[in-house]
């Protein structure tokens, strides 16, 4: 999976009101956050309060290794998290660019 650094500021598509969360990347339909308070990765796909999925980072790693369709976004989220931790960069990744 290749990751390219974002050349412009990353702007969230959807409202997310937790001040402990950092936007670390995006997929085609999801904003990807890391919550420093909870130690979790969040995939937000809408503005409403419940329009997100969340797992602790280590659980997200396990889900990412799965074979189901739901594993792909978590694989991207974990990869972006690891990249952000190593480089302190925000990145922008769309489904078509990940191979």
Supply the pTM of this predicted model. 0.76
Domain boundaries, the chain: 21-97
Which residues neighbour 18 within 8 Å (Cβ) at sequence distance 6 or greater? Answer: 33, 35, 37
Q: What strand order describes the sheet that includes 31-35? A: 21-26, 31-35, 40-44, 52-56
> Strands, E, within 6-94: which ranges?
21-26, 31-35, 40-44, 52-56
Tell me, what DSSP letter sits at residue 11?
Answer: -
Local mean pLDDT, 10-residue blocks, the chain (99 residues): 59 92 88 93 94 92 78 82 75 48
């Amino acid at each position: 999976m290749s990751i390219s650094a974002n050349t412009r500021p990353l702007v969230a598509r959807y409202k997310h009101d937790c001040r402990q969360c950092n936007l670390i990347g995006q997929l085609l339909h999801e904003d990807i956050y890391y919550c420093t308070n909870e130690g979790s990765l969040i995939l937000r796909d809408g503005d409403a309060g419940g329009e997100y999925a969340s797992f602790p980072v280590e659980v997200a790693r396990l889900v990412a290794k799965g074979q189901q369709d739901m594993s792909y976004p978590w694989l991207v989220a974990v990869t972006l998290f690891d990249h952000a931790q190593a480089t302190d960069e925000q990145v922008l990744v769309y489904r078509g660019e990940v191979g």
